[in-house]
Amino acid sequence: METTKKRRSKPKNMLLHIEAIACLARESNFSDEFIKLTKPHTHILTSYLDCNEMQVILFSIICNLNLNHSVVDVDDISGYVGCPPITILKYIKELEELCKMKLLRREFEDSLSRRRRKPDLNQIRFAINNGALDAILNNEKYKPHQTENLDVYELLETVKGFMDERDNGRLSFEEMSLEIKLVLADNEKQTWIRELMSFQLDDNDLFLFLLLCREFTSGSEAVELSDAVKLIFPNLRTQLSIRKEFLDGSSDLIKNDLVILDEGFFRSDRNIKLTDRSIDLLVQDDRNLFLKRKDKKKPDIILSHEIIDKKLYFNQKEEQQLNFLTDILSRDNFVQLTSRMGDAGMKQGVAILFYGPPGTGKTESVYQIAKKTGRNIKMVVISETKSMWFGESEKLIKEIFDKYRRVVDQSKEAPILFFNEADGIFSSRKQIGNSALDQTENAIQNIILQEMEDINGILIATTNLTRNLDKAFERRFLYKICFDKPASEAKCHIWKDKIPALSEPDAIALAHGFDLSGGQIDNIARKYLMKHVLYGTSPDLSELEGYCREENLDRGSYSRIGFVR
């Protein structure tokens, strides 16, 4: 009995039914007798493939022919069945339905526009979809991957999947090309695809561009040229040809301002990346969603809702100044204020400088203002603005402001452009006639000065040293706040906040006894926590005083600039 159940539950071999129909179809001319003989097989396959009887028959015939021909045309089918080619035209709609169900794939010529034309008899060619064939061979239910109505990210992931399959040998280059074109054709109504096709790129440039778009949306702004061409193109001659076109500037991607070639130490390790034009083309239909996805992957973007809320303690004057700035940068107030300034013919951008000793809360204040006002932070990594290549540093600085302008235009809330520890970049300009390095730094500073003059958003810079601050920069900061070390009352609050188990008298004693910044107190609290975790100790005043003496090094004095209102 058990053996009988097992025999009944064993899945039927669908390939045998396809084979039976294909054999019966030879020279059948689709006769009534043929249709009758195939009933037992089509009955099973219509349920398995989710299609009608004639679709099953056509699929079985093409599947059989496909073993000898990479693609099957109308003449192949009519010759096999023994009927005039015009008879097959009656079933074109059935064949098109099989393509929509992803059981067949439609072979078409190079241009996607050809697919939009009314089919010519000599252009109708079909092949079994690889996924469908795999499912049949494994006797599994075929579940086609949806390739219509994909958003930009799903489409690019699908394209990258085909490229990976080509790279690992599951698809030939021709099959990969066909699959990518089919996906693009299925989504040709998307604005960015229509505009991309208007450049009339050849296949090589098109595939390379799509790879760069996918890497960009995944968080990689640049891709090594040699790695990219190896992933897509199996032919060495093609790889070398594409690399040569980039190196000599003859690539259509470069000519159309879609891709740029980065500098590199050697000609063999050059990177390529999308231009601003390409980025605008890519994200135009879904800017806000793109920014969210992209920014989460990029370390130089800090999203306001991901900033941890922290209580900061300042002296009364600094706290009033910071509260005032927070009010200015709040959504409704900032819109109203910038609108009024614009009506009065004044500049609408706001530049702010936080300066003072290390550990006094300058950087954290920027984060907390961003948190309270709902503004993201575009972090400028100073080290990334310096390049060994002549003229490259100036380009990097200009690109920072160009990108910021685009983000401001695309965002409901203007983000904060944040130059942290900006001493080196806002320092006094060098005398003309010095080294090439001095000339480069002067050029960078001149660019920043002009950009600050024209900025339409919010720039905040922090610095520990102000003695070397260039006077031209000082004038361009509308608000300047000096962060002094906290007074005794503020220090007492910080001690209690960092070490809650500390008694009130001990907190007061430490606050009055040691001239420490909030950052230094935080260091001491971390040392205490480590010892408490290891040994279970409670706060000991003498031990904490020892930590304070270790921290309390003379950092020198800091020149005040003042707060302008």
- DSSP collapsed to 3 states, 87-113: HHHCCHHHHHHHHHCCCEEEECCCCCH
Please tell me what DSSP assigns to residue 359: T
Q: Do 329 and 369 contact (CB within 8 A), yes or no?
A: yes
Residues 6 or more apart in contact with residue 178 via CB below 8 angstroms: 105, 107
Residues 6 or more apart in contact with residue 248 via CB below 8 angstroms: none
> What type of residue is 221?
E
pLDDT higher at 83 or 556: 83
Between the CA of residue 260 and those of 137, 232, 254, 256, what are the distances in Å? 45, 19, 6, 10
pLDDT at 436 over 50: yes
CA 99-101-107 angle, to 5 degrees, is: 20
Check residue 293 and give its pLDDT: 44
Check residue 295 and give its pLDDT: 43
What percentage of residues in the chain have a pLDDT greater than 70?
82
Q: Do 354 and 362 contact (CB within 8 A), yes or no?
A: yes
pLDDT higher at 128 or 294: 128
Q: Do 440 and 393 contact (CB within 8 A), yes or no?
A: yes
CA 224 to chain centre: 17
**Strand segments (E) across 326-396:** 350-355, 377-380
Buried b (16+ CB within 10 A) or exposed e, 160-198: bbbbebbeeeebeeebbbbbbbbbbbbbeebebbeebbe
**Is 152 in a helix, a strand, or coil?**
helix
pLDDT higher at 506 or 112: 506
Check residue 559 and give its pLDDT: 44
Report the alpha-carbon distance of residue 49 to residue 489 in Å, rounded. Answer: 77
Domains defined for the chain, CATH in brackets: 9-137 (1.10.10.10), 152-283 (1.10.10.10), 302-482 (3.40.50.300), 488-551 (no CATH)
pLDDT at 300 over 80: no
Check residue 30 and give its pLDDT: 93
Reported as a single tens digit per residue, the pLDDT across 77-104 is 999 999 998 898 889 899 888 887 888 8
Check residue 121 and give its pLDDT: 53
Q: Do 257 and 209 contact (CB within 8 A), yes or no?
A: no
Confidence band (pLDDT; 50, 70, 90) for 389? Answer: very low
Reported as a single tens digit per residue, the pLDDT across 467-494 is 667 778 888 899 999 998 889 999 999 9
Check residue 94 and give its pLDDT: 92
Q: Do 78 and 88 contact (CB within 8 A), yes or no?
A: yes
Q: Which helix (H) or strand (E) holds 338?
A: helix 331-343
Closest listed residue to residue 291, CA positions, set 431, 409, 134: 409
Check residue 146 and give its pLDDT: 66
Report the alpha-carbon distance of residue 72 to residue 124 in Å, rounded. Answer: 8
Check residue 327 and give its pLDDT: 94
Confidence band (pLDDT; 50, 70, 90) for 348? Answer: confident
CA 71 to chain centre: 38
Confidence band (pLDDT; 50, 70, 90) for 385? Answer: low
pLDDT at 368 over 80: yes
Report the alpha-carbon distance of residue 65 to residue 127 in Å, rounded. Answer: 9
Token pair of 78 as six digits: 């009519």
Report the alpha-carbon distance of residue 166 to residue 160 in Å, rounded. Answer: 10
Check residue 269 and give its pLDDT: 60
Say which range, 246-255, 432-441, 546-555, has the weakest mean pLDDT: 432-441
pLDDT at 550 over 90: no
Check residue 558 and give its pLDDT: 43
- Give the mean model confidence (pLDDT) for residues 320-339: 91
Say which range, 205-214, 373-382, 384-393, 529-538, has the weakest mean pLDDT: 384-393
pLDDT at 264 over 70: no
Where does residue 536 rank: exposed (0-12), middle (13-18), buried (19+ CB within 10 A)? exposed
> What type of residue is 484?
D
pLDDT at 19 over 90: yes
Q: Do 116 and 76 contact (CB within 8 A), yes or no?
A: no
Q: How many CA atoms lie within 13 A of 242 on its CB side?
A: 27
Closest listed residue to residue 271, CA positions, set 285, 260, 282: 260
Highest mean pLDDT: which range of 23-27, 67-71, 282-286, 406-410: 23-27
Angle of helix 236-247 relative to helix 225-232, nearest 10 degrees, comes to 150
pLDDT at 290 over 50: no
- Give the mean model confidence (pLDDT) for residues 173-185: 85
The pTM of the whole model exceeds 0.85: no
pLDDT at 68 over 60: yes
pLDDT higher at 395 or 115: 395
Q: Do 148 and 186 contact (CB within 8 A), yes or no?
A: yes
pLDDT higher at 436 or 154: 154
Q: How many CA atoms lie within 13 A of 395 on its CB side?
A: 9
Reported as a single tens digit per residue, the pLDDT across 134-146 is 888 888 887 766 6
Check residue 12 and give its pLDDT: 61
Reported as a single tens digit per residue, the pLDDT across 187-227 is 888 888 888 899 999 999 999 999 998 888 877 778 888 88
Report the alpha-carbon distance of residue 103 to residue 58 in Å, rounded. Answer: 11
Check residue 352 and give its pLDDT: 93
How do strand 416-419 and strand 377-380 relate by DSSP bridges? parallel
Report the alpha-carbon distance of residue 30 to residue 94 in Å, rounded. Answer: 15
Check residue 435 and give its pLDDT: 58
Check residue 178 and give its pLDDT: 81
